[in-house]
Amino acid sequence: MAKTKTAYFCQNCGTQYAKWVGQCGSCKEWNTVVEEVVQKEDKKSWKTSSSTLQKTSRPLLVKDIANDKEIRLNALDQEFNRVLGGGLVPGSLTLLGGEPGIGKSTLLLQIALKLQYKTLYVSGEESQKQIKMRADRIHPNSDNCFILTETKTQNIFQQIVALEPDLVIIDSIQTLHSDFIESAAGSISQIRECTAELIKFAKESNTPVILVGHITKDGTIAGPKILEHMVDTVLQFEGDRNYVYRILRSLKNRFGSTAELGIYEMQGSGLREVNNPSEVLISKNDQDLSGTAIAATVEGMRPLLIEIQALVSTAVYGTPQRSATGFNAKRLNMLLAVLEKRAGFKLAAKDVFINITGGISIEDPATDLAVIAAILSSNSDIAVEKGLCFAAEVGLAGEIRPVQRIDQRILEAEKLGFQTIYVSKNNKIGLKKTKIQVKLASKIEQLVIELF
Ligand code: TYD
Ligand code: MG
């Protein structure tokens, strides 16, 4: 038997060392370097028989390279297709990350069940019976979806060669292990090796592969960063587990834009595609409620109207509480300071709570104006007029600043039946004629006088 070889790997970034070090020289993290068993055998191909046939490539002029119109596999899921940039590219590797319980397995099983192509769903986490129970809830009869519970890559490839599926789904990469490496499943060297084998398989057979990846506590995909470098597309499934909405984002995409966004709603029978998110995110309330305002935001490429709720109440304790759900707390503090200093509101002795409905979180600075409107509305207990929405950033001097994609926001607000939208005076608006009234504002003081 060959002598067991070991090497040291940083568990954070995957850098390999010959001996143990306290601090990783690459990512500068402390105590992340761990010894792992690596046994280097002569690497066999994923399909051991065909390894001798090696094609060498030669350089070609760009204009001479055949440009076959790429055919993409339609996933029959509008949101998923949108995020991928129009469907799955043959031979591509897609990594889907997300917190435990967010719905990664549900999403992929659902896609596998709906597809018209032969799909192999490999699970290292659940038994065939468990998956069957879930499949019955989502989409009971499917003729094309095969389930395999296996964790050894060599066995998986054996089944793949026999079945010849059009799509392979691996749930999850952390449960796989390869015979070529001796360390435990989920270790850096195993993840790296199994992914490399899958990439080789995908590229040689032109079959798309989707991998599920676990994420660590701080939200990054577990395993080395190189895992993200190795695959073609990295998708992230996120949302608050206590709410029903889930957002699918692409963090990296070799075949499309990373600005697209997919929205789903978790139901008893799987995930429902949400094609018109603005309508579901705004509560349909007939009464005038103080403390709410609508922001016209853009998430990725998609315009999205969301409802901001604020509650301002007298602080019971010496230090007032400021809390924000779905909105950056630092930004909230900044906006409150602007309101104190520039518009003369005495909010220093008030508790302020901000919540974005639907459990989604928003980074778009264009929500600033709506947040301010919601706070002032709650503070004065006067409701913001119906049919009003906002799209502007607020600067430290209390000035109302322009935001990007203003036309898209205005059109979305108009589509949803809003009558008035407040935007910055400095925003260049390309639209000629709009049904919705576009009001220009330059300072928050002016807005306060107009609204309350
Ligand atoms: P799951 O796909 O197992 O999450 P992950 O693979 O990301 O860990 O999703 C599990 C959650 O989804 C679980 O808490 C129950 C819920 N769920 C539904 O609400 N409806 C359904 O139809 C299914 C299948 C799951
Ligand atoms: Mg799962």
pLDDT of residue 53: 46
Give distance in angstroms: CA of 71 to centre of ligand 1: 31
Is the complex ipTM more than 0.85? yes
CATH T-level topology, domain 280-451: Ribosomal Protein S5; domain 2 (3.30.230)
Query: pLDDT-derived band of residue 310, with 50, 70 and 90 as boundaries?
Result: very high
Which of 42-46, 146-150, 211-215, 301-305 has the highest mean predicted lDDT (pLDDT)? 146-150
pLDDT of residue 223: 63
Q: Given this chain, do its domains 73-273 and 280-451 carry the same CATH topology?
A: no
Is 102 labelled as part of a ligand binding site?
yes
Residue 38: pLDDT over 80: no
Give distance in angstroms: CA of 237 to centre of ligand 1: 12
Residue 57: pLDDT over 80: no
Choose between 222 and 332: higher pLDDT. Answer: 332
* Ligand 1 atom at minimal distance to the Cα of residue 241: 14
255-298 pLDDT, tens per residue? Answer: 888 888 888 999 988 999 988 887 777 777 667 889 999 999 99
Is 98 labelled as part of a ligand binding site?
yes
Phi, psi of 310, rounded to the nearest 5 degrees? -130, 145
Render the burial of 31-41: b for 16+ CB within 10 Å, e for the rest.
Answer: ebbeebebbee
Query: pLDDT-derived band of residue 365, with 50, 70 and 90 as boundaries?
Result: very high
pLDDT of residue 59: 87
pLDDT, the chain, mean? 87
Residue 44: pLDDT over 70: no
Tell me, using a 6 A CB cutoff, whether residue 134 lines ligand 1.
yes
In 3D, which of 70, 31, 18, 75 has the Cα closest to residue 273?
75
Query: pLDDT-derived band of residue 52, with 50, 70 and 90 as boundaries?
Result: very low
Residue ranges covered by each domain of the chain: 1-41, 73-273, 280-451
Tell me, using a 6 A CB cutoff, whether residue 105 lines ligand 1.
yes
Residue holding tokens 């490999």?
122
181-210 pLDDT, tens per residue? Answer: 888 888 888 888 899 999 999 999 999 999
Residue 351: pLDDT over 50: yes
Tell me, using a 6 A CB cutoff, whether residue 139 lines ligand 1.
no
Residue 127: pLDDT over 50: yes
398-446 pLDDT, tens per residue? Answer: 999 999 999 999 998 988 889 999 999 998 888 888 889 999 999 988 8
In 3D, which of 164, 175, 166, 190 has the Cα closest to residue 38?
190
The protein residue whose alpha carbon is closest to atom 13 in ligand 1 is 101
Mean per-residue pLDDT, 63-89? 85
CATH T-level topology, domain 73-273: Rossmann fold (3.40.50)
Ligand nearest to the CA of 103: 1
Provide the pairing of β-strand 5-10 with 33-38: antiparallel
pLDDT of residue 210: 95
DSSP code for 23: B
Q: Specify burial of residue 188 (Cβ count, 10 A radius: 0-12, 13-18, 19+).
A: buried
Helix (H, G, I), strand (E, B) or coil at 205: helix
Query: pLDDT-derived band of residue 239, with 50, 70 and 90 as boundaries?
Result: confident
Residue 349: pLDDT over 90: no
Ligand nearest to the CA of 131: 1
In 3D, which of 359, 351, 282, 296 has the Cα closest to residue 327?
359
* Polymer length in residues for the chain: 452
Pocket test for ligand 1, best of 266, 269, 271 (most atoms within 8 A of CB): 266
| Side-chain half-sphere CA neighbours of 272 within 13 A | 12
Q: Roughly what angle, to the nearest 10 degrees, separates helices 329-343 and 444-451? A: 80
CB 351 within 8 A of CB 313: yes
Mean per-residue pLDDT, 14-20? 87
Pocket test for ligand 1, best of 102, 106, 121, 235 (most atoms within 8 A of CB): 106
pLDDT of residue 222: 61
Tell me, using a 6 A CB cutoff, whether residue 268 lines ligand 1.
yes
Tell me, using a 6 A CB cutoff, whether residue 262 lines ligand 1.
no
Query: One-letter amino acid identity for 422?
Result: Y
Residue 218: pLDDT over 70: no
The protein residue whose alpha carbon is closest to atom 11 in ligand 1 is 101
Choose between 432 and 133: higher pLDDT. Answer: 133
Give distance in angstroms: CA of 276 to centre of ligand 1: 23
Query: pLDDT-derived band of residue 217, with 50, 70 and 90 as boundaries?
Result: low
Mean per-residue pLDDT, 67-83? 85
